[in-house]
Structure 1
Amino acid sequence: MSFKKLSCIMEELKICAEQGMPILIEGKKDEKALKYLGINGNFIQVSGSGLKLFEIAEIAAESSSKVIILTDFDKKGIELAKRLAEDIQSLGSYPNLEIRRKIMGITRKFIKDIESLPRHMKQLELEECPNGVNDSYYHQHFCFRY
């Protein structure tokens, strides 16, 4: 069930990205992992950009009224998410932490960063669908009902 839930969350993220919502991530490996999962969007890297967090929040808030925060699940990522959310909200945009919270809820015991998502999803898929049978009916009809 976790693979199906995580797949649905990834589908939700993909739709948000297609709608133009910027996705705040920590680094290049996170972007690569999300692109591997089929999510192509306006990724804004928080770490290593040379910009202050508030400047990053400004860039994100200027590009959309909703901003997805998808930092890692470690202590640093939690602090970044909190500070970015406060800054984005102060700029009049909505910081979406819900997708991050959902991913954390499912993966918390297994992974600590976004870059590990593809490997973790593959492992879950093999556990839940050992014969390679993926229930696309479930995905199409129940993704947003969990």
Structure 2
Amino acid sequence: MSFRRLSRIVEELSSCVEQGMPILIEGKKDEEALRELGINGNIIKVSGSGLKLFEVAEIAAKTSSKVIILTDFDKKGDILAKKLSEDIQSLGSHPDLSIRKNIIKITRRYIKDIESLPKHMKQLELEINPYGNYL
């Protein structure tokens, strides 16, 4: 079931962040969505920081040998993910795109960005348990 698979991915993401791995996201709404999912840690926004992409990659690579890239699932997000991945690798760190790819596999027809993830998960949870905890 999609809800369980997504929940496991969110747990994996949370565990990675607890181990000190930074997450690169696009913007403020993406950060709010991750916080809503209980992911608290080093979340670095690519947009709106005033920094060049390489500088953002540099900051992330300095904090950990592994950096999670979690850009949106549209064309712009794909381009950002590729560029960030190349930059992080050139700095001697390991870019992790696996969580992004797994989320895309599960949600491909339903959402296009990170900010939609909490709402999508709530909808999936309602499909499993439409009456909530009332039974």
Q: Which amino acid aligns with 1:34?
A: L
- Amino acid across the alignment from 1:63: T
Per the alignment, residue 98 of structure 1 pairs with: 98
Cα distance in 2 for partners of 1:94, 1:66 equals 5
How far, CA to CA, are the matches of 1:53 and 1:124 in structure 2? 34
Match of 2:56?
56
Partner of 2:46: 46
**Superimposed CA distance per residue, residues 18-40 of structure 1 (whole angstroms, 9 cap, x where no aligned partner):** 01100000001101000000000
Q: In structure 1, what is the Cα distance between the partners aligned to 2:102 and 2:41?
A: 19
My pick for the range that moved more, 49-58 or 122-131, is 122-131
Deviation at 1:131, TM superposition (A): 3.5
TM-score normalised over the length of structure 1: 0.89
- Which residue does 2:78 correspond to in 1? 78
Task: Name the TM-score, length of structure 2 as normaliser.
Answer: 0.96
- Secondary structure at 1:39 match in 2: coil
RMSD: 0.8
Aligned counterpart, 1:11: 11
Aligned structure 1 segments of 4 or more residues deviating by more than 4 angstroms: none
What is the Cα deviation at residue 48 of structure 1? 1.2
Quote the offset at 1:105 in angstroms: 0.6
Gaps of 5+ in 1: 134-146
Distance 1:16 1:35 in 2: 14
Aligned twin of 1:121: 121
User: 1:110, CA displacement in angstroms?
Assistant: 0.4
Amino acid aligned to 2:80: L
2:119 corresponds to which letter in structure 1?
R
- 1:128 to partner: Cα distance: 1.8
Indicate whether 1:107 and 2:107 are aligned: yes
Give matches, 1:130-141, under 5 Å.
130-132=130-132
Question: 2 CA distance for matches of 1:41 and 1:115?
Answer: 17
Q: Identity of paired residues, percent?
A: 75
Work out the CA distance in 2 between the residues paired with 1:39 and 1:14. 5
Secondary structure at 1:72 match in 2: coil
